[in-house]
């Protein structure tokens, strides 16, 4: 005999339905480099659910914070002091694979 309660009740949490407000919160928090685990806690959902429903907002927020950091790095690199040298060196290493320990690439 089948259990009628088991067939009608799936159990667990109800499905998550993102609202426009939730999407704005995720985008804003991601653009301020808030870790995804904290964003999920704010919304009361799991990280898996956050990634499933808010991938676009997370990507946009991440791109915004990256752009702000890059712009600040370029601003620092345009100076003429020790900070500028470090910023230039960091940029060369990250973006172009430059290393003071390797000979220059040919070709």
Domain total in the chain: 1
Alpha-carbon span 43 to 51, nearest angstrom:
12
Residue pLDDT, tens place only, 34-72: 999 999 999 999 999 999 999 999 999 999 998 998 888
pLDDT at position 1, please? 52
Does 18 score more than 70 pLDDT? Answer: yes
Within a domain: 86: yes
Within a domain: 4: no
Within a domain: 43: yes
Within a domain: 56: yes
Structural domain range at position 91: 18-96
Within a domain: 65: yes
Within a domain: 105: no
pTM of the model: 0.70
Within a domain: 59: yes
Task: Tell me the HSE value of 6 on the side-chain side, using a 13 A CA sphere.
Answer: 3
């Amino acid at each position: 005999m089948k259990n009628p309660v088991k067939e009608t009740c799936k159990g667990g949490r109800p499905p998550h339905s993102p609202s426009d407000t939730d999407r704005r919160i995720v985008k804003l928090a991601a653009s301020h480099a808030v870790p995804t685990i904290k964003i999920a806690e704010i919304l009361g959902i799991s990280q898996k659910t956050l990634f499933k429903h808010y991938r676009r907002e997370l990507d946009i927020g991440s791109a915004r914070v990256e752009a702000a950091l890059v712009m600040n790095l370029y601003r620092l690199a345009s100076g003429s002091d020790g900070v500028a040298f470090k910023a230039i060196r960091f940029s060369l290493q990250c973006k172009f694979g430059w290393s003071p320990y390797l000979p220059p690439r040919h070709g």
